[in-house]
């Protein structure tokens, strides 16, 4: 097995025992990028020299003592809507082409402090608005399991990179499913922490009441280690809840070893009623087998009644688009980003936004502006906010009776590139199982639960109580160890290099 | 919820967007379908529920102490502006 196909904790052991070097790990990853990036397009920016000189300094011990953190030497990809000082952060949009933020996001600086090697910036749907990574202004990312299919979105570049060995771990962001869906489609682990576990300082805003930075990794243990590093208050995001992430925040050199957990005495709620229609047969079969795995670990599977997820999707797309229309007002060609010149300031803004924002972003701005406009506010935004309350209460009270709720992450296996591009509503409905926990701010994780007959990855989503992120990881790890699908890697992808094309 | 062209153009102007005639047609169609789906929200009786703008925060807000801190050093915050003149953002004439 190549170094780039190993997990972070395996690499940490090899590095700790001096069986390999940071440079060898980075070389292996960059070699894989050379092999597959021409096909996959997982990255928007990747600066080799920067990576090479960083690992050289690490191997030579030219860094200050005490910097050998739990992710020492681990190459990490960062979704391109998370700010990196001195590395372009484009949000996959023409309007931010070439934009270099003056600061690092808190999550990024914490990864660097833990010794991680920042590889580059991963492709995504423009501003996080999409479920397939086809809405990137720089072209779609392809699924490493079948390049004719989408990797899911919006963090598709992050998920494809981790699945294909172009990164060991990656950060994504999840507003309504953007970490979990691509993790499911690419056969990797993707966690959206509780709203309030990770600081969003430096995450470009989309739907502020739901945006969270999440982790995409090859297994639950890597996901946990990375979350431990990035979680906790930092004084720059008042929505961080000090009770959620701080306790387990990385404090020193030791890599925490997690042990397998039995699920005896634990219960899992499944909304069987909501799964009756609209579920692909293979997803259903695989999900039923996954439930048997959970039962074999001693967990009790209980049927629970939840509000039909169709209502959650509708409420989500009203609220997210309203918040997006407000957040996107900052792209006016004045403070940063690109400008298209005109005689008047109004015309300058109109030209700039109309020409440089992509079609899906414009559609969402339109929807949000409409839903917030005088005469429609009550009908859409206010009503959606009431439904959000119901969805939240429903999940909260269910999670007082069961430890976790489980559903498939996506209703279908990964779909073909282009299949849903002409039908935005169909694209939205891909998020049918991921929006409800996002509306409620709950921690949730997508785990590989098998492959379809066409050898396409399928994922199960476990949802935990508010703030119970670490307990959710315990349950997820128990499932992973018993199910054993986290070792699966996609078949070799051909391609040639276009990395660093920007 | 049927939308007409004038409404779509009005919303576009509020959002500082301009749609060409082809985009206007597809926008009309797409928004119509999506808003039809959103009308689903009427089916659920939510009249008794308080509108929820953000998720519950059991610990309250985590505000830092009100102590002055250094911000970004001079010029860093404005360096990405498309048109900077003597450290100020420059825009086309606002008043005719």
Provide the pLDDT confidence category of residue A500 given band limits of 50, 70 and 90.
very low
Provide the pLDDT confidence category of residue A248 given band limits of 50, 70 and 90.
low
Instruction: Using the predicted structure, report yes or no on whether residue A243 has a pLDDT greater than 90.
Output: no
The CA distance from B6 to A106, in Å, is 44
Q: Please, what is the average pLDDT of chain B?
A: 91
Q: Is the peptide bond before B23 cis (omega within 30 degrees of 0)?
A: no
Point out the least confidently predicted range of A43-52, A64-73, A135-144, A177-186.
A64-73
CB nearest B17 (choices: A343, A353, A388):
A353
- Identify all chain A residues contacting B63, using CB atoms and an 8 Å cutoff: 238
Do A339 and B55 make contact, defined as CB atoms within 8 angstroms? no
* Confidence at residue A66, expressed as pLDDT on a 0 to 100 scale: 55
Report the percent of chain A where pLDDT is more than 70: 94
Tens of pLDDT along chain B (96 residues) come to 578 999 999 999 999 999 999 999 999 999 999 999 999 999 999 999 999 999 988 767 778 889 998 888 878 999 999 999 999 999 998 887
**ipTM of the complex model:** 0.95
Instruction: Using the predicted structure, report yes or no on whether residue A234 has a pLDDT greater than 90.
Output: no
Q: Closest by alpha carbon to A67, among A17, A116, A12?
A: A116
* Confidence at residue A261, expressed as pLDDT on a 0 to 100 scale: 64
Distances (CA, A) of A270 to A25, A142, A303, B8, B89: 41, 32, 5, 41, 55
Instruction: Using the predicted structure, report yes or no on whether residue A247 has a pLDDT greater than 60.
Output: no
The CA distance from A8 to A14, in Å, is 10
Tell whether B74 lies on the interface with A, counting CB pairs under 8 A: no
Do B27 and A366 make contact, defined as CB atoms within 8 angstroms? yes
- Closest residue of chain A to B75, computed from CA coordinates: A102
The alpha carbon of residue B2 is apart from the nearest alpha carbon of chain A, in Å, by: 13
Taking only residues 111 to 170 of chain A, the set having a beta carbon closer than 8 angstroms to any beta carbon of chain B reads none
Q: Give the angle A13-A52-A138 at the CA atoms, nearest 5°.
A: 105
Distances (CA, A) of A267 to A173, A229, A300: 29, 29, 5
Tell whether B79 lies on the interface with A, counting CB pairs under 8 A: yes
Do B15 and A380 make contact, defined as CB atoms within 8 angstroms? no
Contact A125, A135 (CB under 8 A): yes
* Confidence at residue A260, expressed as pLDDT on a 0 to 100 scale: 53
Active site residues of A: 79, 154, 178
Contact A463, A406 (CB under 8 A): yes
Do B16 and A385 make contact, defined as CB atoms within 8 angstroms? no
Q: What would the pLDDT profile of A13-35 be if each residue is shown by its tens digit?
A: 999 899 999 999 999 999 999 99
Instruction: Using the predicted structure, report yes or no on whether residue A262 has a pLDDT greater than 90.
Output: no
């Amino acid at each position: 097995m190549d170094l780039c196909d190993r997990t972070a904790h395996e690499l940490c052991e090899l590095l700790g025992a001096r069986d390999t070097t940071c440079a060898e790990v980075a070389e292996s990853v960059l070699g894989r990028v050379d092999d597959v990036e021409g096909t996959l397009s997982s990255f928007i920016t990747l600066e080799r020299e920067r990576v090479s000189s960083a690992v050289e300094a690490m191997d030579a011990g030219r860094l200050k003592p005490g910097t050998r953190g739990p992710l020492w030497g681990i190459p990490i990809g960062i979704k391109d809507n998370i700010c990196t000082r001195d590395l372009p952060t484009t949000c996959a949009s023409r309007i931010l082409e070439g934009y270099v933020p003056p600061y690092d996001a808190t999550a990024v600086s914490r990864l660097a402090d833990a010794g991680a090697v920042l590889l580059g910036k991963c492709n995504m749907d423009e501003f996080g608005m999409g479920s397939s990574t086809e809405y990137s202004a720089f072209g779609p990312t392809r699924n490493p399991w079948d390049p004719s299919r989408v990797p899911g979105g919006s963090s598709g570049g992050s998920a494809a990179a981790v699945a294909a060995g172009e990164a060991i771990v990656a950060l994504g962001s999840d507003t309504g499913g953007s970490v979990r869906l691509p993790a499911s489609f690419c056969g990797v682990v993707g966690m959206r922490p509780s709203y309030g576990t990770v600081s969003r300082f430096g995450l470009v805003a989309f739907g502020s009441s739901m945006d969270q930075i999440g982790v995409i990794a090859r297994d639950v243990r890597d996901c946990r280690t990375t979350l431990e590093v990035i979680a906790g208050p930092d004084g720059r995001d008042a929505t961080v809840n000090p009770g959620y992430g701080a306790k387990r925040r990385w404090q020193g050199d030791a890599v925490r070893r997690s042990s397998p957990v039995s699920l005896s005495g634990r219960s899992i709620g499944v909304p069987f009623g909501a799964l009756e229609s609209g579920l692909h047969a293979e997803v259903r079969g695989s999900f039923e087998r996954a439930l048997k795995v959970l039962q074999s670990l001693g967990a009790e599977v209980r049927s629970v009644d939840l509000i039909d997820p169709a209502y959650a999707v509708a409420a989500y797309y009203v609220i997210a688009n309203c918040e997006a229309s407000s957040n996107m007002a900052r792209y006016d060609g004045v403070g940063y980003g690109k400008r298209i010149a005109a005689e008047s300031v109004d015309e300058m803004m109109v030209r700039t936004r109309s020409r440089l924002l992509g079609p899906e972003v414009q559609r969402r701005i339109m929807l949000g502006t409409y839903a917030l406009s005088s005469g429609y506010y009550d009908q859409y935004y206010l009503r959606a906010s009431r439904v959000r309350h119901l969805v939240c209460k429903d999940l909260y009270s269910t999670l007082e009776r069961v430890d976790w709720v489980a559903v498939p992450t996506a209703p279908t296996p990964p779909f073909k590139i282009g299949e849903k591009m002409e039908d935005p509503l169909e694209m939205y409905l891909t998020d049918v199982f991921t929006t409800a926990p996002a509306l409620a701010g709950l921690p949730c994780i997508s785990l590989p639960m098998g492959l379809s007959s066409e050898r396409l990855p399928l994922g199960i989503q476990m949802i935990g109580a508010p703030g119970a992120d670490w307990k959710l990881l315990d349950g997820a790890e128990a499932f992973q160890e018993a199910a054993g699908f986290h070792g699966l890697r996609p078949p070799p992808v051909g391609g040639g290099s276009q990395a660093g094309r920007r | 919820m049927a939308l007409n062209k004038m409404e779509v153009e009005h919303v576009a102007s509020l959002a500082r967007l301009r749609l060409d005639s082809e985009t206007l047609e597809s926008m009309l169609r797409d928004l119509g379908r999506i808003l039809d789906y959103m009308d689903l929200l009427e089916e659920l009786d939510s009249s008794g529920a308080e509108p929820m703008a953000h998720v519950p925060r059991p610990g309250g807000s985590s505000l830092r102490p009100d102590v002055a801190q250094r911000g970004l050093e001079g010029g860093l915050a404005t360096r990405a502006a498309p048109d900077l003149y003597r450290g100020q953002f420059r825009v086309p004439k606002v008043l005719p």
